[in-house]
Amino acid sequence: MSDFSKMTERYFLEDLKLSPLWGSDMGLEEYDDLMPEGGREEIEKSTEHDRNFLREVRSFADKDLTEDEKIDKKVLEYYLELSRFRSEELELWRKYPRAADTAGSSLYTILFRDSTPVDKRLSSIIVKMEQIPLFLEKSKELLDKPVWIWTEMGIESSRRMKGFIEFIENFGKGVTDNQERLRRLHIGCINAKNAFKAYEQWLLDKLPTAERNFTIGCDDYEELLKKRLLPYSAQEILEIGEEYVKTIRSDMKKTAAKIDSTATVSETLSKIKKGHAESFTHILNDCKRVMAEARDFVLKENFATLPENEILEVEETPIFMRHLIPFAAYSPPGKFEKAQKGIYMMTPPEANDDMLTEFCPEDLVSTSVHEAYPGHHLQLTCANLNPSTARIYAHATEFVEGWAHYCEDATAEAGFYNTPEAMLIRLKDMHWRAWRIIIDVKLATGRMSFEEAVKHLTEDAGLEYTGALAEVKRYTYTPGYQLSYLLGKHMIKNLLEKIGKQYACSKKEMHDAMLYSGSLPITIMEEIMRNKFSKQER
């Protein structure tokens, strides 16, 4: 092992001690029993660790590194600079109470990991449940600049944990009859529910004096784009989004006319969306079928190489997460899990059956391709196979989300459900992603209000109000994320076109090169692909 690799491994092990939930998320069972400290000292330790890590990474001269290590060095510099900026400059940890989300996610990760014996999972859940009250108490040290909307979201997460904890207790009763373990679980659940109730009240007391402004401002937004290695300014990205809105609207009119020349785009979409199944249970079953078809299509059409041991399951979104995931989301397998099982979560309508229109058959196809095959599930399981420790740190949203969005069109162009109705739904979704770019830039920089963003999503992008509201809530605390979908797709298509023209390589070879390199910034991905195909000049 080289000195660079030894250094990376050493810091990786230190990171796991500082952030045991990260280790648990990656499938390292030895971290399943641990909760983070949760207080300000933990932030200080992590910040100092990252500074030391970056200093050592930069001490290595490129001339002493292999080609792969040069890439890894760039990846680590990218990650550590971005992490430092978010922690020290944006300081979300001082403004958004995430303790309930963190605790819930840590339990969810273990609960549904089938590769771990159920007895071991239950033991870890009991131990974690017992640690939750102290974790919630310590986390109060962080919130000294509460933002009103994020505090509201923290309250909602805390409130929803009651139902999730009851689900966990019933899970325990179903897998063991050991009375001592059930007693510990019961007491742990009672104490955790009381702790969440107290935490909720503490947050309610913070609301009257919480800051109303959630924006990061123009300067920090520009700096965020630079740290992410995006080759555009905020204004350039905004112009890309606005241009896409114009062209997509035109394409939607042409496509709708092919379906019904006497109806408007809105009328045609409404007719298509009314074709949803009669119940959410039927929708879940339809989704499972479409995902299986999408997987078969990837193999049959030689779209990409599927990794071994990958599994995908469809589940309802856990109750404590539903206010943050209005439609669907994907939870990937940990890098070190033997069975690479991803979970595709679908959120059932809560007291609003109108939301079933978001799950019409054509929407299920588009969403399944995006979230599963060959989208997120394929990409993230392939990334897990890259042997580099450095690349574990990379999760470039313009590639992760851009790839999934790119797949929606790429599979249709290859013949997967390429009907006019499906095309109109894809264009509708692309139009929504174009509006995400505009809203992202303007909302984060204070040029658009929360209410205006919701209005654009409902009136211009065609979302139901409930879904639009949940979307914009998420946008407020993830500046720069929303633009990643269509901008990332835009960059990936440009990259594939450049590489395809210069080098004699197939579409599958290019897809595999990206998929198995890790979730890297597209600017770094281009360097990898040029190195890989350099001997195949046309």
Distance CA 19, CA 43 (A): 10
Mean pLDDT by 10 residues, the chain (538 residues): 96 95 94 93 95 97 96 98 96 97 92 87 96 97 97 96 92 94 97 98 97 97 98 98 98 97 94 80 89 96 94 85 74 90 85 64 90 96 97 97 97 95 95 98 97 96 88 96 98 97 95 98 97 86
Nearest to 103 by CA among 38, 166, 185, 13: 38
Give the three-class secondary structure for 385: coil
Pairing of β 310-316 and β 340-346: parallel
The separation between CA 498 and the C-alpha centre of its own chain, rounded to angstroms, equals 28
Query: What is the reported pTM?
Result: 0.92
Contact 57, 72 (CB under 8 A): no
Output DSSP code: residue 31. G
pLDDT for position 350: 66
Give the three-class secondary structure for 521: coil
pLDDT for position 538: 73
Please give the single-letter amino acid code of residue 286.
Answer: D
Nearest to 301 by CA among 159, 69, 508, 123: 508
DSSP lists the bridge partners of residue 328 as: 346
Half-sphere exposure for 455 (CA within 13 Å, toward CB): 6
In our burial notation (b when 16+ CB lie closer than 10 A, e otherwise), range 513-534 reads bbbbbbbbbbbbbbebbeebbe
Instruction: Classify residue 34 as left (phi > 0), alpha (psi -120 to 50) or beta.
Output: beta
CA 321 → CA 328, 331, 334, distances in Å?
A: 11, 12, 19
Contact 121, 113 (CB under 8 A): yes
DSSP lists the bridge partners of residue 342 as: 312
Distance CA 149, CA 95 (A): 10
pLDDT for position 446: 97
In our burial notation (b when 16+ CB lie closer than 10 A, e otherwise), range 403-442 reads bbbbbbbbbbeeebbeebbbbbbbbbbbbbbbbbbbbbbb
- How many C-beta neighbours within 10 Å does residue 488 have? 25
Find the DSSP H helices in 179-231: 179-206, 218-227
Q: Residue 370: which H helix or E strand, with range?
A: helix 361-371
The three-point CA angle 500-504-508 to 5° equals 65
Instruction: Report, in this order, helix, strand and coil percent for the chain, each rounded to 5.
Output: 70, 5, 25
List phi, psi (to 5°) of 328: -155, 160
Distance CA 276, CA 282 (A): 9
Nearest to 286 by CA among 355, 363, 378, 341: 363
Contact 72, 388 (CB under 8 A): yes
Work out the angle between the directed axes of helices 522-533 and 67-84 (0-180°, nearest 10).
180
User: First and final CA of the chain: distance in angstroms?
Assistant: 36
Tallying the residues shown for the chain, one arrives at 538
